[in-house]
A and B are shown apart, each in its own frame.
Chain A
Amino acid sequence: MIVAEKKPIDEIIGFVRDYRKILLVGCNECVTVCYAGGKKEVEILASALTMAFMKEGKELEVKEVTLERQCDHEYLEEIRNIIDEYDAAVSLACGVGVQFMAEKYFRTPVFPGVNTLFMGVTEERGVWAERCQGCGKCILGETAGICPISRCAKRLLNGPCGGSTKGKCEINKELDCAWQLIIDRLKELGRLEDYEELIPIKDWSTERAGGPRKVIREDLKQ
């Protein structure tokens, strides 16, 4: 899933300070699972904003909606009939949802309610961690199912570096060294000799480096 964190309330107040009618739009997918932008967080933000405005002696009308997804036309269309009644919207979806809403409702100012971080997993309750950077050419088959691009601080394809200590990364004692994990798993799979295969220089053109990416499936296009 895409992992995000709530933006500091003061930053959001700064965005909407001059408006009187605001639409707060949550998303029922990833940001709900990581407690950053679901129905619950929309509720909390609504009351926080109302209180902040009251303190300044101003009135605020907030409307709360949480859509199934904000990255599909179908669901975003559900607010078409009401959006023009509001001076601005805050989307608590990931950056993708915020942008898609801004694209669709061109005349309404749309602000982000969360900081979008990464694609990752729920390691345990309250703990999310990165697992993939969408490099566009997955090498997990060569690295025992552990991604050095997203999990090694230097994205070394032939690691580990000399800083790996007691299984932890040189940049942070709390962070597993990806290459230690790869080696441990190769060993478990009885394939430690695969460690000596040189992973070739990567073609990064399928990654961010190659410019904004797009997938087109002619068979599905209408």
Chain B
Amino acid sequence: MSTKTPSRLEKILAAGHMAVTSECGPPRGSKGEVITKKAEMIKDYVDAINITDNQTSVTRLCSLAACIRLKLMGVEPILQMVTRDRNRIALQSDILGAASFDLYNILCLSGDHQQFGDSPQGQNVFDLDSIQLIQTVRYMRDEGKFLGGDDIDQPPKMFVGAAANPFADPFEIRVPRLAKKIAAGVEFIQTQCIYNLEKFELWMKMARDRGLHEKVYILAGVTPFKSAGMAKYMKNRVPGMDVPDEVVNRMSGVPKEKQPEEGIKICVESIQRLKEVEGVKGFHVMAIEWEEKVLEIVEQSGLYPRPKIE
């Protein structure tokens, strides 16, 4: 596939390499070095790093500023942007701000509801939804116009991504929903963390049956468990997460001090198996507050070294 933006992630995918992305959550304070330290640690093991946008609705240092810090240290950022907190003026304005620092990747999300975070009494915006944000970025980039119709003086050049959750309900529209995002103009997908591999494989098969795997780059999302407690928490408490009993049992079947190791093992095994799934074009390794493990996971999965592309 030919590339449409200067994004390094896009080039790697277009060249047919398995891409590896990871993500970092900004700090709950103004210490910018927290983010650069995390990035410094993993940068040689990944092609690009997502910076979350006030994930789980907990107020943090903003994604855009953190992405600029990565860019300045020569790391490729993926700007996560949720529609929960900004209307179309603010979204477009932040996109231009990002473009002015040569940020070339964006991940369009609607965002968790604010009731999960530190400001349950706050307003939400949702002027657009995630699909409409995809359309917005594509429109700004490809037509060179604002939503209001005026010309943009030097439009943004962004590789446009979105999330997909193969495990949320109702399952029957999970593939149609992917098709909808593709119709809106999405170019890469990072999936929800995959623990139920069979269900993911079924989802991929249904996507392939419609040829969707040829229209979008799908990066499979993985997250290592640190403990059996975390596995149980994810299974029972996190909406839209599918953790099969056998995975929870495997984690609780080993002594507490061995659990982190087991979690990494499960993660690496999942990557090995998912590599064989037609249509999987890379991995999104999420190890929030456990970033140091990204190195091991990438290495043990045979995804290191990363391809050199300028």
Chain A residues within 8 Å of B, Cβ to Cβ:
153-167, 170-171, 177, 180, 183-184, 192, 195-196, 198, 200-201, 204
Across-interface contacts of B177 in A (CB, < 8 A): 160
Asked whether, in the complex, the Cβ of B184 is within 8 Å of the Cβ of A167, the reply is no
Q: How far is the CB of B248 from chain A (nearest CB, A)?
A: 17
Across-interface contacts of A163 in B (CB, < 8 A): 112-113, 168, 239-240
Asked whether, in the complex, the Cβ of B169 is within 8 Å of the Cβ of A157, the reply is no
CA distance A164 to B112 in the complex (A): 11
CA distance A16 to B132 in the complex (A): 50
Query: In the complex where A163-B240, A164-B169, A170-B112 touch, is A201 in contact with B128 (Cβ < 8 A)?
Result: yes
Asked whether, in the complex, the Cβ of B129 is within 8 Å of the Cβ of A156, the reply is yes
CA distance A154 to B83 in the complex (A): 10
CA distance A163 to B242 in the complex (A): 11
The contact string, 1 if C-beta is below 8 Å from chain A, for chain B 138-169, is 00000000010000000000000001110011
Across-interface contacts of A192 in B (CB, < 8 A): 172-173
Across-interface contacts of A171 in B (CB, < 8 A): 113, 115-116
Return 26 A-B CB contacts under 8 Å, by A number: A153-B113, A154-B113, A154-B129, A155-B126, A156-B129, A157-B129, A157-B132, A158-B130, A158-B132, A160-B168, A162-B163, A162-B164, A163-B112, A163-B113, A164-B168, A170-B113, A170-B240, A171-B115, A171-B116, A177-B169, A196-B176, A196-B179, A198-B131, A200-B132, A201-B88, A201-B128
Across-interface contacts of A154 in B (CB, < 8 A): 84, 110-111, 113, 124, 126, 129
CA distance A195 to B176 in the complex (A): 8
CA distance A165 to B168 in the complex (A): 6
Asked whether, in the complex, the Cβ of B240 is within 8 Å of the Cβ of A158, the reply is no
Q: Is B136 an interface residue (CB 8 A)?
A: yes
The contact string, 1 if C-beta is below 8 Å from chain A, for chain B 263-279, is 00000000000000000
Asked whether, in the complex, the Cβ of B168 is within 8 Å of the Cβ of A201, the reply is no
Asked whether, in the complex, the Cβ of B169 is within 8 Å of the Cβ of A165, the reply is yes
Q: Is B254 an interface residue (CB 8 A)?
A: no
CA distance A128 to B192 in the complex (A): 35
Q: How large is the interface on B (under 10, 10 to 19, 20 to 34, 35 or more residues)?
A: 35 or more
CA distance A36 to B42 in the complex (A): 59
Q: Is B299 an interface residue (CB 8 A)?
A: no
Across-interface contacts of A165 in B (CB, < 8 A): 168-169, 239-240
Sorted nearest first, the 10 A-B pairs with minimum C-beta distance are A162-B165, A163-B239, A170-B239, A158-B131, A156-B129, A162-B240, A162-B168, A171-B113, A201-B132, A163-B240
Asked whether, in the complex, the Cβ of A201 is within 8 Å of the Cβ of B239, the reply is no
Closest B residue by C-beta to A155: B126
Which residue, of A163, A167, A200, has the highest number of chain B Cβ atoms within 10 A? A163
CA distance A196 to B170 in the complex (A): 14
Q: How far is the CB of A158 from chain B (nearest CB, A)?
A: 4
Q: How far is the CB of B98 from chain A (nearest CB, A)?
A: 20
Supplied contacts A156-B130, A183-B170, A198-B183, 15 more A-B pairs, CB within 8 Å: A156-B129, A158-B132, A158-B180, A160-B169, A160-B170, A163-B240, A164-B170, A164-B239, A165-B239, A170-B112, A195-B180, A196-B176, A198-B180, A201-B135, A204-B127
Q: How far is the CB of B218 from chain A (nearest CB, A)?
A: 15
Q: How far is the CB of A196 from chain B (nearest CB, A)?
A: 5
Q: How far is the CB of A102 from chain B (nearest CB, A)?
A: 26
Q: How far is the CB of A181 from chain B (nearest CB, A)?
A: 10
Across-interface contacts of A167 in B (CB, < 8 A): 169-170
Asked whether, in the complex, the Cβ of A164 is within 8 Å of the Cβ of B240, the reply is yes
CA distance A165 to B124 in the complex (A): 21
Across-interface contacts of A184 in B (CB, < 8 A): 170
Q: Which of A161, A195, A204 contacts B110 (CB 8 A)?
A: A161
Asked whether, in the complex, the Cβ of B240 is within 8 Å of the Cβ of A198, the reply is no
In the complex, which residues 73-132 of chain B have their Cβ closer than 8 Å to any Cβ of chain A? 84, 88, 110-113, 115-116, 124, 126-132
Asked whether, in the complex, the Cβ of B147 is within 8 Å of the Cβ of A201, the reply is yes
Q: How far is the CB of B199 from chain A (nearest CB, A)?
A: 14
Asked whether, in the complex, the Cβ of A196 is within 8 Å of the Cβ of B113, the reply is no
Across-interface contacts of B169 in A (CB, < 8 A): 160, 164-167, 177, 180
Q: Which of B112, B126, B135, B164 contacts A156 (CB 8 A)?
A: B126
